[in-house]
C-alpha cells in the first residue's frame, strides 16, 4: 500500500496537541516535561516493560489502559521516579491529577511516564510548574519539542509521521520515542508515544500495537540491560472519520502495515543513537528449527560484548560469532554452520573462507551479519550496535 511521510509526529493526526518545556529537572536545562493531548477521548493501548523492578508509572498506566480509553499523556525526563516506594507512587498520581485538572479531564483519562535516574524522588515543585507551563504551550506544532523533552542520553530527537488512506478517508499516524542506553528486547525497550486519528476498536488497537512492537522495539538491543520504566503507548481518537474498524479486514491490515513501518523506523533510530555507537548492525539467523530458536540465536549474537567490540574495532572475527551462537541454546551442527558479513562468506560448512576478506569489510556504518544454521526453515533478525569506548565513558559519568 502507499503512504506518505509528513511533518508533525504526534501532532500530525487531527485534533492532537503537544508541548515540551524545561522545568529544571535536568541539569542541562533542556526540555524535560512533555504533554500530549487529544481534544476528544480516544481508544488507547500499551505495551510495557517486563522488568519486575518497574516504576509506579508502569503500574498506574497498566490499570488505566485496562479500560481502553484515554486522552492525554504527561511525561517527565531526567528522573525515572523508580524504586521510590509509596512517595514515588503518590508523585506519579499527583502528576496525573495536576494534568487532568489543567485539561478538565477525569484522572482515569491521563497516563503518566517518567525516564532518567533511578532511585531519586521527583522534584515536585519543578514538576508542577512544568505541567502548568506545558499546558500553556500546547500546540498543534508541539511535536518536535515533546520529542526533545523525553530525551535522556539521546543525542537527537526521534520522531516520524505518515499519512495514508482508509476507505476514502485520509488517516494520519505519528510517533516519538526515546532511547539510547539500557536497551534490550522484551518490551519494552524505551519510551514510545504514538498517536493516530484512525477509528479502531481498542482491542484491535492493542493487537496491532503488540504485533508491531514485537517486530520492531522487541527486536533491538544496545547493551542487554532492560529498563524499569519502559512503555509504548498509542492513542487513537477516531477524528479521521473512517468507519470504525471492528474486525481484521483489509483496512485493519493497511493500518497495521503503516504502524509496523513507524515503529520499525523509530526502533532503528534508537539503535543508531545507541550510547557511543558507531555502527548499526543487523543480525539475521537463517535455517533454524523454530522461530523461537532463530530469535534466541540472533539475540545472543547481538548481545555479545565480544562480537560488539570486534565490530567497533572493525575486526571480522567470525570466531566470536561462532562462540556466541554455540552458547545460545539452539540446535545446529557445527559442520553445517555458515557465516556471512556484508555479503562476504567467512565460514562455509566448517571451512574458513579468507580469500575474499578485505581489510575494510567492517568500515561501513551499516553491518549485516547472517548466520545460517542449515537446520530448518525459520529465520529472525535483531538490530543492535557496536560497543565502543564512548559507551563506557557515558555510563561511567552518568551519576545520581
Which pLDDT score is estimated for 53? Answer: 75
Which pLDDT score is estimated for 187? Answer: 43
- Whether residue 188 has a cis bond before it, omega within 30° of 0: yes
Q: What is the pTM of this model?
A: 0.89
**Whether pLDDT at 350 is above 90:** no
Quick one: pLDDT band at residue 365, thresholds 50, 70, 90? very high
Contact of 252 with 245, CB cutoff 8 Å: yes
Would you state the CATH architecture of domain 4-272?
Answer: 4-Layer Sandwich (3.60)
**Whether pLDDT at 185 is above 70:** no
Contact of 9 with 175, CB cutoff 8 Å: yes
Across 182-190, average pLDDT: 49
Q: How many CB atoms lie within 10 A of CB 324?
A: 22
Q: Tell me the three cell numbers of residue 139.
A: 500546540
Give 378-398 pLDDT, tens digit per residue: 999 999 999 888 877 876 765
Angle ∠(142,233,22) on CA atoms, nearest 5: 35
Domains of the chain, by residue range, sit at 4-272, 280-396
For the chain, what percent of residues have pLDDT higher than 90? Answer: 76
- Per CATH, the number for 280-396 is 3.10.20.340
Across 154-168, average pLDDT: 95
The reply to whether domains 4-272 and 280-396 share a CATH topology is: no
Looking at the annotation, which residues are catalytic? 189
Which pLDDT score is estimated for 357? Answer: 67
Quick one: pLDDT band at residue 182, thresholds 50, 70, 90? very low
Give 229-288 as a 3 state SS string.
Answer: CCEEEEEECCCCCCCCECCCCHHHHHHHHHHHHHHHHHHHHHHHCCCCCCCEEEEEEEEE
Give 279-308 pLDDT, tens digit per residue: 999 999 999 999 999 999 999 999 999 999
Which pLDDT score is estimated for 359? Answer: 72
Which pLDDT score is estimated for 125? Answer: 97
What are the respective helix, strand and coil percentages of the chain, to the nearest 5?
35, 30, 40
Q: Which of 295, 323, 320 is nearest to 382 (CA)?
A: 295
Amino acid at each position: 500500500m502507499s503512504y506518505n511521510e509528513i511533518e508533525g509526529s504526534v501532532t500530525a493526526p487531527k485534533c492532537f496537541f503537544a508541548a515540551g518545556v524545561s522545568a529544571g529537572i535536568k541539569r542541562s536545562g533542556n526540555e524535560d516535561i512533555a504533554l500530549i493531548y487529544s481534544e476528544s477521548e480516544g481508544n488507547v493501548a500499551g505495551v510495557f516493560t517486563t522488568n519486575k523492578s518497574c516504576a509506579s508509572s508502569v503500574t498506574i498506566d497498566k490499570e488505566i489502559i485496562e479500560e481502553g480509553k484515554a486522552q492525554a499523556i504527561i511525561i517527565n525526563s531526567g528522573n525515572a521516579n523508580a524504586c521510590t516506594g509509596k512517595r514515588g507512587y503518590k508523585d506519579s498520581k499527583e502528576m496525573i491529577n495536576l494534568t487532568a485538572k489543567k485539561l478538565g479531564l477525569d484522572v482515569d483519562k491521563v497516563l503518566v511516564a517518567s525516564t532518567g535516574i533511578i532511585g531519586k524522588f521527583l522534584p515536585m515543585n519543578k514538576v508542577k510548574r512544568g505541567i502548568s507551563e506545558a499546558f500553556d504551550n500546547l500546540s498543534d506544532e508541539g511535536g518536535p519539542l515533546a520529542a526533545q523533552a523525553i530525551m535522556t542520553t539521546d543525542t537527537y530527537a526521534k520522531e516520524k509521521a505518515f499519512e495514508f488512506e482508509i476507505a476514502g478517508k485520509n488517516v494520519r499516524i505519528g510517533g516519538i520515542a526515546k532511547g539510547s542506553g539500557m536497551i534490550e528486547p522484551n518490551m519494552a525497550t524505551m519510551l514510545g508515544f504514538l498517536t493516530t486519528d484512525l477509528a479502531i476498536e481498542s482491542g484491535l488497537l492493542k493487537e496491532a500495537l503488540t504485533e508491531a512492537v514485537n517486530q520492531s522495539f522487541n527486536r533491538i538491543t544496545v547493551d542487554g540491560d532492560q529498563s524499569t520504566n519502559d512503555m509504548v503507548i498509542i492513542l487513537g481518537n477516531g477524528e479521521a472519520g473512517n468507519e470504525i474498524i471492528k474486525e481484521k479486514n483489509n483496512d485493519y491490515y493497511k493500518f497495521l502495515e503503516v504502524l509496523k513501518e513507524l515503529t520499525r523506523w523509530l526502533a532503528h533510530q534508537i539503535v543508531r543513537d545507541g550510547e557511543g555507537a558507531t555502527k548499526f548492525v543487523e543480525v539475521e539467523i537463517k535455517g533454524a528449527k523454530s522461530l523461537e530458536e532463530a530469535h534466541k540465536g540472533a539475540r545472543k549474537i547481538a548481545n555479545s560484548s565480544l562480537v560488539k567490540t570486534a565490530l567497533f574495532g572493525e575486526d571480522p572475527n567470525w570466531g566470536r560469532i561462532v562462540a556466541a551462537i554455540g552458547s545460545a541454546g539452539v540446535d545446529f551442527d557445527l559442520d553445517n554452520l555458515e557465516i556471512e558479513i556484508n555479503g562476504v562468506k567467512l565460514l562455509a560448512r566448517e571451512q574458513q573462507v579468507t580469500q575474499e576478506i578485505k581489510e575494510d569489510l567492517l568500515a561501513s556504518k551499516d553491518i549485516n551479519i547472517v548466520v545460517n544454521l542449515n537446520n530448518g526453515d525459520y529465520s529472525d533478525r535483531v538490530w543492535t550496535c557496536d560497543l565502543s569506548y564512548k559507551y563506557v565513558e557515558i555510563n561511567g559519568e552518568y551519576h545520581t
